[in-house]
Structure 1
């Protein structure tokens, strides 16, 4: 009888130990997931490239499902891709992108409707190659926005309506939209998007938003649109930063300045280059291009420990800032899934090896993730 009781007790103790161990393992797993760690704070998103949308890289797709709860298409929704000819739309990839988000319960973000870059030339020309009239471009813009936004009405929750319309000095960019239509193209773009889906959240999106003059220019532009009765829900701060600039304090000033307009703030394209810059600018002007040199590509074989520590510390500093202003920020999105498919490897110097994201080229978490997770868990 005693032996039987001892056996039962032993089994109970073993079961308790196994249960506690399993609980600890499950808790550890949960705590290593970004979207879980920041649940209730803001969405944690990533940009998907064509291969990921097509499901060609199973490990990357699994990583997206595990770590993120918001997605944005890196390229396939830009007008050049989705509307290559006047009477031709290609919704093949965008449809798959939206379906992926819906199947995995993610917030789906549309990027981008009106952008001077990666816009098809036919937008601005007639059949003879002449510049179209103001009326023609307005109609083309309206038709494009109504068709794209209308197709995903109620499914794509947020749209980058206008992208990168303000220069670093705060002045409006003299794009073809501006030259042909005038400043009104901004107002019209938001009005057309609102008509196409009254429930969608509409954003203005830009880089280098921590620059004081650019900050003022964006505030000035958005305030003027608001005074004209235009409804803007948020401002996207792209967050293409490096390990030295911009100053965290300047980034915070922009979060505050934008939120004071009565809109939400999103960090829409966060990544952090560790590579030297071949120019004095720190933005994301995609037209910039410089010749390759070994001096501009110092970490081909991997990062030294001091750079890793700096990267990790700066990532933590940014997330401390985001957490401090969680009431103002609705989403933080990384521009890419892993280091290997980041645009930073080819901009502004093609062929470099950069390490700007949280997962390495083998989809393994980097030490920066621990720093980012510690920010939120140490704050509880």
Structure 2
């Protein structure tokens, strides 16, 4: 903020200037208002302030600020009016989902010339602002008009030199233009006040609504003035990240890498019953599964449960994902039946069997976590571990790793060998243990299992506060020939911890770790936002998912992204789930499916050339390939990857009394059949017991 008149300031603005412009009574009224205590606020205003000042917001925690348009919903409604045209009426809000109780409905004709011709305006006549002052406007908005549009504007209205009405530039810095939903959603508008054009200019917050015939409802309009408080535009919602724009330079490079890394040319050769090439045969190439891992953590409770939600949970998992992690069932405290870990081992085994029967690769989570107790959400479950000698700790951990790896050798495809090696270095920091013990534990794991061994840590790609330490740790492993097969990143992103990274930062992180020459895997991906009622949070979550997955998919070293759950009722951070409680898919869930099953999915049709060959280009993965010419038909399943680029389909006449297509040979592998599995098959295998709470009991900064 500017401070050109520091000697005259009372608070942050020149006291004498305020008297000159507003009069003494107005100034003292404003001073009294600046002492707005929580007790003086209406229910909505109190709730809003408490939310924005909550310590849980961490880096995004805001000071109390001063309400500009009074301290109740009624005050704000009285301050705003519709100007330019249209009808305005007061409405009651009876939704339990939002904290407001009243609003105003604007019914707007479609005959205006520009968006500002009809505006819902609240002029401010009882205070002045200085250039650089930071404000935050808030509003709940909804509309039943399918293509409704609104633009938020904070500006000065004044008379120019020619005596005409004029308006300054719009001082709203982000999110000014928006399209209201058909339900009440909250919008934030950060404001950096510009220069006052004239002494008699009047500031106003207004919403331009002249975008054709539409009906728009407003409620909960509020404006915070932050005075001299330590606030920056970055701390004011809505939140953003660099590289979000659709014309950002990184997108073209990522698209080129995807074409080069994730796709390949392949040929379908069609042969007749006598082995001759078939020209002009119609060929359909349909992808059935990605080579890239798009996985999810799963809950023992819902994989083995038998109520309707459990059935939907299983079918949704089968539809959306191709890899699994058992979220908690393989953790030592769960498997060893520690108090508070109410997960039945038989049901965990049933879960593994259900996944294995459908050919799902399962990540084993985990073999080593340098924590005796379960306080951080896992650990080694070593009773009275602090009283053991270093030698006893060394041997106990070795035995647990060995037994766990042997126990699940047939059920898992890979292991998180060392979980949270940076956040939890407790054993490594103990005298007489150190790196020697860690090296021994890696060696024990390598001898006990034939499966790949990964590290797994947070704060390196989801946030970056531990990136440099994780790089140092991996460098130590590589330089000392540890049996490292892959590097895992937990990939948890939270708005209030500044964990929505700029896109170039994400790229830099992946590229730095790719230098070690082993596969990279995002093991526990989710994006947690402040509120699903904040429209702009939902929008940035959707865009960030799009961009994070695009970057990951474009990086040659990255082999997959495993989401940490997908359903609101079984997600450790419910705002990050892809599906609501009622299984309605959320916008970022829609984006996930659009990318995975549309944009990065191959379905092609064409005809063979004179040599009986149909040339195609597609994403690496599994395919169903069918061909037909006249009454002849054939089909096969195939794998398209770096090693396999040719598919042969042999056409056969229909069997007597059989109108169905024949089947050709599969040179390149089998298609997984989990999409055709029947949910009822699990009915006789399930235990009748119900699993308890399947979630980690973690802190906000780390969990497993």
TM-score by length of structure 1 reads: 0.71
Does structure 1 residue 362 correspond to structure 2 residue 582? yes
Aligned match of 1:229 in 474, 481, 484?
Answer: 481
Q: What is the aligned-residue RMSD (CA, Å)?
A: 2.7
CA 1:358–1:99: 2 relative to 1, 3 Å? same
Q: Deviations over 1:296-345 (max 9, x none)?
A: xxx4xx524333222211111111101211x211221111121221112x
Match of 2:508 in 1: 253
Match of 1:184 in 2: 436
Match of 1:66 in 2: 319
Q: Counterparts of 1:157-236 in structure 2 under 5 Å? A: 157-167=413-423, 173-176=424-427, 178-179=429-430, 181-197=433-449, 199-210=450-461, 214-236=466-488
* Contact 1:71/1:106, CA 8 A, preserved across alignment: yes
Q: Distance in 1 between matches of 2:326 and 2:506?
A: 25
- How far did 1:182 drift? 1.7
- How far did 1:123 drift? 4.9
- How far did 1:203 drift? 0.4
Q: Which one has a larger percent helix, Structure 1 or Structure 2? A: 1
Match of 2:294 in 1: 44
* Contact 1:74/1:111, CA 8 A, preserved across alignment: yes
Q: Deviations over 1:235-281 (max 9, x none)?
A: 11111013562222222222111121011111111111111xxxxxx
Structure with higher Rg: it is 2
Q: Distance in 1 between matches of 2:504 and 2:367?
A: 31
Match of 1:146 in 2: 402
Deviates more, 1:257-266 or 1:44-53: 44-53
Match of 1:306 in 2: 536
* Contact 1:69/1:105, CA 8 A, preserved across alignment: no
- How far did 1:63 drift? 1.2
Could you say what secondary structure the match of 1:183 adopts? helix
Does structure 1 residue 342 correspond to structure 2 residue 571? yes
Q: Distance in 2 between matches of 1:120 and 1:319?
A: 32
CA 1:201–1:121: 2 relative to 1, 3 Å? closer
Match of 1:96 in 2: 350
Q: Which one has a larger percent strand, Structure 1 or Structure 2? A: 2
Q: Distance in 1 between matches of 2:335 and 2:437?
A: 20
Could you say what secondary structure the match of 2:411 adopts? coil
* Contact 2:367/2:415, CA 8 A, preserved across alignment: yes
CA 1:194–1:343: 2 relative to 1, 3 Å? same
Does structure 1 residue 333 correspond to structure 2 residue 593? no
Aligned match of 1:323 in 553, 569, 573?
Answer: 553
CA 1:71–1:204: 2 relative to 1, 3 Å? same
Match of 2:304 in 1: 54
Q: Distance in 2 between matches of 1:151 and 1:265?
A: 26
CA 1:213–1:339: 2 relative to 1, 3 Å? closer
CA 1:254–1:93: 2 relative to 1, 3 Å? farther
Q: Which runs of 5+ in 1 are unaligned?
A: 1-26, 168-172, 276-298, 345-353
* Contact 2:422/2:469, CA 8 A, preserved across alignment: yes
Q: Distance in 2 between matches of 1:147 and 1:238?
A: 25
* Contact 1:161/1:189, CA 8 A, preserved across alignment: no
- How far did 1:212 drift? 5.2
* Contact 2:458/2:466, CA 8 A, preserved across alignment: no
How many equivalent residue pairs?
299
Aligned match of 1:134 in 390, 402, 405?
Answer: 390
Match of 1:239 in 2: 491
* Contact 2:320/2:593, CA 8 A, preserved across alignment: no
Q: Distance in 1 between matches of 2:474 and 2:441?
A: 13
Could you say what secondary structure the match of 1:98 adopts? helix
- How far did 1:78 drift? 1.1
Q: Distance in 2 between matches of 1:309 and 1:66?
A: 24
Could you say what secondary structure the match of 1:336 adopts? coil
- How far did 1:361 drift? 1.5
* Contact 1:72/1:108, CA 8 A, preserved across alignment: yes
TM-score by length of structure 2 reads: 0.40
Q: Distance in 2 between matches of 1:247 and 1:80?
A: 37
- How far did 1:355 drift? 1.7
Q: Which runs of 5+ in 2 are unaligned?
A: 1-284, 601-617, 619-704
Could you say what secondary structure the match of 1:45 adopts? strand
